[in-house]
Structure 1
Amino acid sequence: MASHHPIMTKEDLIAFLDREFPQIHMGGQSYFLEDIGPLSARMRMDYHDRHLRPGGTISGPAMMTLADLALYAAILGQIGPVALAVTTSLNFNFLRKPEPRALIADCRLLKLGRRLAVGEVSIFSEGSPDVVCHATGTYSIPERR
């Protein structure tokens, strides 16, 4: 796959997400964009009690949100601020219990076409090399006029 350089800076993408999706920060910000690279993005989710499920582990929905945001950020970094790019599918494999600390999501785009983007996301407990969740997803990109 040819090398792609992001057309949105990290700062531009953060401003876009804050403006278009302020609801992700309800109850206080816990999702942070750490990096945008060629066909990639890294997001962080701070550890917080609101992300826990019974049994004291980080919930699946919190990890799903983190993965979806990382995928969205990686795509927008490449195509620009297209708010109506939407998730068409997500598949999750929860591999091990995350440790009680921040989670890091590394996203890599596998395909970036005119109408579809496909990527994978590996989620780790901060400071650990073990993948706690692996996700794959597809986004539909609206026709640009």
Structure 2
Amino acid sequence: MTPVMSVEELSRFLDEEFPQIHAGGKAYFVESISPGEAVLRLKATEAHLRPGGTISGPSMMALADLAAYVVILAHIGPVALAVTTNLNINFLRKPAPGDLLCTCRLLKLGKRLAVVECGIAGEGDEDYAAHATATYSVPPR
């Protein structure tokens, strides 16, 4: 699968079509796009922490969902109305405060559905803090 959008094009698309992800300050960044894969960064702030000083589950879920959206758009083009139909996440360990990287891979890219898997880890960590799978509905082209 060859990407049809670059990091710059995707970042611009998100800024223009999905500005609410930057409410409270820009925290999500498209790090890389490659065949069948996207990597997003969450620059976690105090707002992303839960009691106990670890990054919250909702913050990791949002990162996985956004990474799924980005990897799909990277391969189909700027289709704003692609939507999540299912998101499943397993929290594996507590991530320390700091940036998280989410590597998201396309498992299936069909005409109507896309299925992805995402691994979330702290920067420099080899072990995942969370693993997610997502299914997206892709509108007819």
TM-score using structure 2 length:
0.98
Comparing 51-60 and 102-111, the one that deviates more = 51-60
Q: What amino acid maps onto 2:135 in structure 1? A: T
Out of 47, 52, 55, the residue aligned to residue 50 of structure 1 is 47
- Mapped to 2, the partners of 1:38 and 1:79 lie a distance apart of 12
Residue matched to 2:133: 136
- Mapped to 2, the partners of 1:22 and 1:7 lie a distance apart of 22
Does residue 88 in structure 1 map to residue 102 in structure 2?
no
- Mapped to 2, the partners of 1:79 and 1:109 lie a distance apart of 12
The share of aligned pairs that are identical, in percent, is: 62
Does residue 60 in structure 1 map to residue 24 in structure 2?
no
Cα deviations by residue, 1:46-96 (Å, 9 ceiling, x for unpaired): 120000111211101100010011110000000000000000000000000
Q: How many residues align?
A: 141
Does residue 25 in structure 1 map to residue 22 in structure 2?
yes
Secondary structure of 2:47's counterpart equals: helix
Out of 66, 69, 72, the residue aligned to residue 75 of structure 1 is 72
Q: Which runs of 5+ in 2 are unaligned?
A: none
Q: What amino acid maps onto 1:56 in structure 2? A: G
Cα deviations by residue, 1:8-67 (Å, 9 ceiling, x for unpaired): 111111100000011111111011000111111000001200001112111011000100
- Mapped to 2, the partners of 1:88 and 1:15 lie a distance apart of 25
